[in-house]
Each structure stands twice: as C-alpha cells, then as structure tokens.
C-alpha cells in the first residue's frame, strides 16, 4: 500500500481480516495510514476509527425475536430487520500517532472518543 501511495484503508467485515485486526491496525499506524474498521474492538486495539451497527442494540433486538418465537410466533412470519443504531468510535491516540487531526465537528458526532 505504501508503494501505491494509498491514502486510507477501510477494512470490510468478514472472517478474512477479523483474525488479523490487531496486526492490520499496528501496520497502519506504523505506515501512518488512517484506517476504518467495522467494530469498536479494533479501535480499542489501535485502529483509527470504526462505524458499525451497535452490537448491544442488535442483541437486545434479537432478544425480542426470541421472545416472540418462544410465545409461539413462527420465525418465517417475523419481519427481517436492518440495524437501526450505528456507532462512530474514534481513537485520538492513533490519530496523533499518524499525524492526523480529527476535526472538532467530527469528534462531537462520535459516539465514543478513545484518548
């Protein structure tokens, strides 16, 4: 990516990269490459930011489906839902390490800022 002068890296969800999230985040910091991942956990590990569905919210919503099924609803009759709550998490320590200043307008929109 350095040879190609890549300006940023977005890691898509999936099994292929999840196992190497920490290594990708470390390499990105070493290469001064802004990264966006699909989970808060990767930002805690050192990635710059994530924007993804809120897993606690999705688990709560799944519990309502379990409740309906246990009360007799047929799973096939239940509607398929898309996530409705998304979270933006930013790691300021990583931003500083790669020489990036996150605008205040973005920071105030973040659900969590790791310092």
Question: pLDDT 10s per residue in the chain (115 long)?
Answer: 777 788 888 887 766 666 777 888 888 888 888 989 888 888 998 899 999 998 889 999 999 999 999 999 999 999 998 999 999 999 999 999 999 999 999 999 999 999 8
How far is it, in rounded angstroms, from Cα 45 to Cα 24? 10
Q: Within 10 A of 94 (CB to CB), how many other CB atoms are there?
A: 22
Q: Distance of CA 49 to CAs 32, 38, 75, 79, 82, Å?
A: 14, 9, 36, 32, 22
CATH: 3.30.450.20, 3.40.50.2300, 3.20.20.120, 3.50.50.60. Which one for 9-54+85-114?
3.40.50.2300
Radius of gyration of the chain from its Cα atoms, rounded to whole angstroms: 18
Domains of the chain, by residue range, sit at 9-54+85-114
């Amino acid at each position: 990516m350095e040879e190609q002068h890549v300006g940023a890296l977005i890691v898509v969800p999936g099994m292929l990269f999840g196992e190497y999230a920490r290594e990708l985040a470390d390499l990105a910091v070493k290469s001064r490459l802004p990264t966006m991942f699909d989970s808060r956990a990767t930002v805690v590990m050192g990635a710059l930011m994530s924007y993804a569905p809120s897993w606690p919210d999705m688990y709560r919503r799944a519990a309502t489906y379990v409740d309906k099924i246990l009360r007799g609803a047929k799973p096939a009759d239940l509607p398929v839902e898309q996530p409705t709550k998304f979270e933006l998490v930013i790691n300021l320590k990583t931003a500083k390490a790669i020489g990036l200043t996150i605008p205040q307008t973005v920071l105030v929109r973040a659900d969590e800022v790791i310092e």
